[in-house]
């Protein structure tokens, strides 16, 4: 599929939705609020957002924003990460029921136990974790910089949490270290199997395969390039190739189709994150109207959780140059 958006329609019910959009844009100005949306958010949410990007670029935008109010359209851990980096701002969940299943697959208690049993290991935690878990980590990583972060550490033993697939990818790229990997997974990327990608490759033999590192190792093995979501978007725009099989959440494929009308993209139909799609226009409007639900984290959690994020930023600054995509609405 190359000329149509994949998955849900852009607008379910056009006229009422447009009225909600109008109200959101008006209230956003009145409140002096910034709306941030993750790359996996639906098209209508991306439309009302000031910026669309990955977790880290959005958190940095929240930190550096002039606006005192941030409405974050993404799952729980992303909204918390924005608050950790912007503690003096009002950071609002667009929908606090959007809870990432992978972030819930590890607890602070799990991490404390791992640290006791492996006292010489450094703990590297994916940004897709709760604020309380971040308090137990030595350093955070994102999918764009996980390899560089692990290589940068002076420890030989690494505890990598929570994503087993990103952990496996890092282990293969950094064979000189012993990496203990937690068994969590992203329910969207983990359910993509090798045959799903091979079916597409057989149908589109000239297409370049690009894969997110949260996918299973046997899927990663099929990739011409392994990239974060922002990395994929930039790669598709700048590559001289004309046809791509994009192995990540469908909304990224939709975005590529719209941004690159002269190129062809094929996605995995079932790669749809139900968590991210829980954020609806009505939720964004309600957040702006009520200034709730607001992220509320204890001061000591913010302080402790910020440390591993700041360490990551210090190591991975070069990879984190992307600043989301500005949306003029
Ligand atoms: S795609 Fe959905 S399930 Fe996977 S890590 Fe992101 S929010 Fe969590």
**Ligand 1 centroid from CA 105, angstroms:** 12
Atom of ligand 1 minimally distant from the CA of 100: 8
Final residue of a domain: which of 245, 267, 289?
Answer: 267
Considering its fold, how many domains does the chain have in total? 3
Residues 91 and 67 in one domain: yes
Residues 231 and 199 in one domain: yes
Q: What is the mean pLDDT of residues 37-65?
A: 92
Residues 107 and 94 in one domain: no
Residues 284 and 251 in one domain: no
Name the percent of the chain lying above pLDDT 90. Answer: 86
**Ligand 1 centroid from CA 165, angstroms:** 13
Counting every residue written for the chain, the total comes to: 329
Residues 175 and 212 in one domain: no
- Asked whether the predicted pLDDT for residue 265 surpasses 80, the reply is yes
For residue 46, which phi and psi values (nearest 5 degrees)? -60, -30
Structure tokens at 51: 């910026």
**Ligand 1 centroid from CA 30, angstroms:** 32
- Tens of pLDDT along 187-240? 999 999 999 999 999 999 999 999 999 999 999 999 999 999 989 999 999 999
- Tens of pLDDT along 28-40? 999 999 999 999 9
pLDDT-derived band at 14, boundaries 50, 70, 90: low
Which residue among 100, 133, 248, 277 is best mutated to probe the pocket of ligand 1, counting the most ligand atoms within 8 A of its Cβ?
A: 100
**Ligand 1 centroid from CA 128, angstroms:** 8
Q: How far apart are CA 100 and CA 145, in angstroms?
A: 21
Residues 107 and 95 in one domain: no
- Which residue bears the tokens 């977790």? 55
- Whole-model pTM? 0.91
Residues 215 and 176 in one domain: no
Residues 107 and 86 in one domain: no
pLDDT-derived band at 13, boundaries 50, 70, 90: low
- Report H helices in 103-215: 108-117, 131-134, 146-152, 164-173, 194-203
pLDDT-derived band at 267, boundaries 50, 70, 90: very high
- Asked whether the predicted pLDDT for residue 112 surpasses 80, the reply is yes
Q: 209 has which bridge partners?
A: 245
Ligand 1 binding residues, C-beta < 6 A: 40, 75, 100-102, 128, 186-188, 249, 273, 275-276
Q: Write out the H or E segment, with its range, that includes residue 302.
A: helix 299-316
Q: How far apart are CA 113 and CA 119, in angstroms?
A: 10
More confident residue, 182 or 15: 182
- Give me the pLDDT at residue 316, please: 62
- The residue whose CA is least distant from atom 4 of ligand 1 is 186
Which residue among 40, 273, 277 is best mutated to probe the pocket of ligand 1, counting the most ligand atoms within 8 A of its Cβ?
A: 273
List of residues 6+ apart from 125 with CB closer than 8 A? 111, 133, 134, 136, 137, 139, 140, 141, 160, 161, 162, 308
- Give me the pLDDT at residue 11, please: 54
Kind of pairing, strands 139-141 and 122-126? parallel
Residues 262 and 287 in one domain: no
Atom of ligand 1 minimally distant from the CA of 77: 7
- Give me the pLDDT at residue 327, please: 41
Give the range of the structural domain holding residue 221, as residue numbers without chain letter: 194-267
- Asked whether the predicted pLDDT for residue 321 surpasses 60, the reply is no
**Ligand 1 centroid from CA 261, angstroms:** 27
- Give me the pLDDT at residue 313, please: 87
Q: What is the mean pLDDT of residues 60-73?
A: 94
Taking residue 300's Cβ as centre, other Cβ atoms within 10 Å add up to 9
CATH of the domain at 109: 3.40.50.10800
The three-state secondary structure class of 289 is helix
- Asked whether the predicted pLDDT for residue 252 surpasses 50, the reply is yes
Residues 93 and 19 in one domain: yes
Final residue of a domain: which of 181, 203, 235?
Answer: 181
- The residue whose CA is least distant from atom 5 of ligand 1 is 186
């Amino acid at each position: 599929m190359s000329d149509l958006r994949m998955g849900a329609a852009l607008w379910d019910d056009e006229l009422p939705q447009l009225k909600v959009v109008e109200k959101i844009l008006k209230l956003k100005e009145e409140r002096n609020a910034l709306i941030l949306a993750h790359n996996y958010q639906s098209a209508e949410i991306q439309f009302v957002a000031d910026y669309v990007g990955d977790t880290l670029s959005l958190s940095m935008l929240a930190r550096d924003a002039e606006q005192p109010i941030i409405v974050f359209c993404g799952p729980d851990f992303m909204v918390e990460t924005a608050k950790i980096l912007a503690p003096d701002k009002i950071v609002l969940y667009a929908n606090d029921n959007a809870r990432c299943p992978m972030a819930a697959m590890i607890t602070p208690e799990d991490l404390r136990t791992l640290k006791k049993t492996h006292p010489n290991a450094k703990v590297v935690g994916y940004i897709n974790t709760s604020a309380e878990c971040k308090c137990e980590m030595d350093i955070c990583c994102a999918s764009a910089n996980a390899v560089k972060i692990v290589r940068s550490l002076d420890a030989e033993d690494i505890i990598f949490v929570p994503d087993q697939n990103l952990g496996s990818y890092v282990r293969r790229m950094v064979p000189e270290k012993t990496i203990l990997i937690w068994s969590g997974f992203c329910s969207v990327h983990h359910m993509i199997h090798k045959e799903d990608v091979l079916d597409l490759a057989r149908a589109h033999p000239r297409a370049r395969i690009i894969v997110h590192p949260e996918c299973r190792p046997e899927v990663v093995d099929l990739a011409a390039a392994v990239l974060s979501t922002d990395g994929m978007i930039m790669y598709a725009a700048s590559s001289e190739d004309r046809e791509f099989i994009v192995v990540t959440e469908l909304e990224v494929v939709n975005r590529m189709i719209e941004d690159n009308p002269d190129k062809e993209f094929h996605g995995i139909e079932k790669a749809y994150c139900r968590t991210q799609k829980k954020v609806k226009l009505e939720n964004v409007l309600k957040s702006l109207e009520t200034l709730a639900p607001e992220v509320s984290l204890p001061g000591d959690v913010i302080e402790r959780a910020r440390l591993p994020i700041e360490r990551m930023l210090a190591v991975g600054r070069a990879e984190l140059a992307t600043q989301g995509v500005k949306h003029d609405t």
